[in-house]
Amino acid sequence: MLFDTHVHMNARQFIEDRDEVIKRAFDTGVHYMVVVGFDRETIPLAIEIAEQYETIYAAVGWHPVDAIDMTDDDLAWIEELSSHPKVVAIGEMGLDYHWDKSPKDVQKEVFRKQIQLAKKVNMPIIIHNREATEDIIQILEEEDAKEVGGIMHCYNDSVQYVQQCLDMNFYISLGGPVTFKNAPLPKEVAAEVPMDRLLVETDAPFLAPHPNRGKRNEPAYVKLVAEKIAEIRGISFEEISENTTKNAFTLFGLDVK
Ligand SMILES: [Zn+2]
Taking the centre of ligand 1 as the mean of its atom positions, its distance from the CA of residue 7, in whole angstroms, is: 7
Ligand 1 midpoint to CA 160 (Å): 23
Round to whole Å and give the CA distance between 241 and 180.
20
What is the Cα–Cα distance from 223 to 106, expressed in whole angstroms? 37
Q: What are the C-alpha distances in Å from 189 to residues 128, 173, 186? A: 17, 10, 5
* Distance from residue 123's CA to the centre of ligand 1 (Å): 18
pLDDT in tens, 101-149: 999 999 999 999 999 999 999 999 999 999 999 999 999 999 999 999 9
* pTM assigned to the model: 0.96
- Coil, strand or helix at 189: helix
* CA distances from residue 169 to 22, 62, 137, 139, 172 in whole angstroms, order as listed: 30, 21, 12, 14, 10
CA 257 – ligand 1 centroid, Å: 25
Q: Give distance in angstroms: CA of 142 to centre of ligand 1.
A: 24
CA of 166 to the centre of ligand 1 (A): 21
The per-residue pLDDT for range 11-31, each reduced to its tens digit, is: 999 999 999 999 999 999 999
Distance, CA of 30 to CA of 254 (rounded, Å)? 16
Q: For residue 167, how far is its CA from the centre of ligand 1 (angstroms)?
A: 23
Distance CA 214, CA 100 (A): 24
pLDDT in tens, the chain (257 residues): 999 999 999 999 999 999 999 999 999 999 999 999 999 999 999 999 999 999 999 999 999 999 999 999 999 999 999 999 999 999 999 999 999 899 999 999 999 999 999 999 999 999 999 999 999 999 999 999 999 999 999 999 999 999 999 999 999 999 999 999 999 999 999 999 999 999 999 999 999 999 999 999 999 999 999 999 999 999 999 999 999 999 999 999 998 65
CA of 205 to the centre of ligand 1 (A): 9
